[in-house]
């Protein structure tokens, strides 16, 4: 979306709001946008064509803005808070992600949160690595870290 106009981005997010199966959540830090998460029902998205979605599955995309002053561990802390939010507030039973197979940085972060990778699948615009994190796996993982 880096090359998109403000109107194109606004239309994209309006479509998410209008979809009735997805949401976008903007988080602020010190009154400024810091990160964005999109949540969606995988049964209504391309990922649902590549596995059998279960009740309680929730797909997500996370976008963290560039830091003016980098903070060590920031993205991992954001990810942990968002996962907790999805499990506790959105009542997800399992989180589904489908990052680009070449994105090694997000794979490491996903695994640190308890995601288990299943397989690479061909999407229309990428080869995606399909991974799942259950509520139990996530809370067991973060308990080990503390």
Question: Which CATH number characterizes residue 117's domain?
Answer: 3.40.630.30
pLDDT at 16 over 90: yes
101 domain residue, yes or no: yes
Which residues, 6+ apart, have CB-to-CB distance to 139 below 8 Å?
Answer: 87
Chain segment 125-137, per-residue pLDDT in tens = 999 999 999 999 9
> Scanning the structure block, which residue is given the tokens 């489908």?
98
Q: 4 lies in a domain?
A: no
Reported residue count of the chain is: 146
Phi, psi for 133 (deg, rounded to 5): -135, 115
**pLDDT tens digits for range 35-89:** 999 999 999 999 999 999 999 999 999 998 777 788 899 999 999 999 999 999 9
Q: What is the pTM of this model?
A: 0.91
On whether residue 72 sits in a domain, the answer given is yes
On whether residue 8 sits in a domain, the answer given is: no
Under 8 Å between Cβ of 62 and 37:
yes
**Inside any domain, residue 15:** no
Above 70 in pLDDT, residue 146? no
How many whole angstroms separate alpha carbon 141 and alpha carbon 120?
A: 23
* Cβ 117 vs Cβ 109: under 8 Å: no
Domain total of the chain: 1
Residue 36 resides in a domain: yes
> Cα separation of 110 and 50, whole Å?
19
Q: Which domain holds residue 113?
A: 22-145
End-to-end CA distance of the chain: 36
Structure letter (DSSP) for residue 27: E
Interval 22-36: pLDDT, tens: 999 999 888 888 899
Q: Is residue 14 situated within a structural domain?
A: no
Q: Is residue 129 part of a domain?
A: yes
């Amino acid at each position: 979306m880096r090359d998109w106009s403000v109107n194109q981005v606004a239309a994209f997010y309006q479509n998410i709001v209008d979809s009735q199966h997805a949401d976008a959540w903007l988080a602020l830090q010190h009154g400024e946008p810091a990160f964005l998460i999109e949540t969606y029902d995988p049964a209504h998205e391309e990922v649902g064509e590549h596995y059998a979605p279960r009740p309680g599955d929730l797909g997500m995309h996370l976008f963290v803005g560039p830091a003016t002053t980098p903070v060590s561990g920031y993205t991992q802390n954001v990810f942990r808070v968002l996962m907790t939010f999805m499990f506790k507030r959105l009542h997800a039973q399992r989180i589904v992600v489908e990052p680009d197979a070449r994105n090694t940085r997000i794979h490491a972060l996903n695994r640190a949160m308890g995601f288990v990778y299943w397989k690479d699948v061909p999407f229309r615009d990428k080869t995606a690595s399909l991974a799942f994190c259950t509520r139990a796996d996530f809370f067991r993982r973060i308990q080990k870290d503390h």
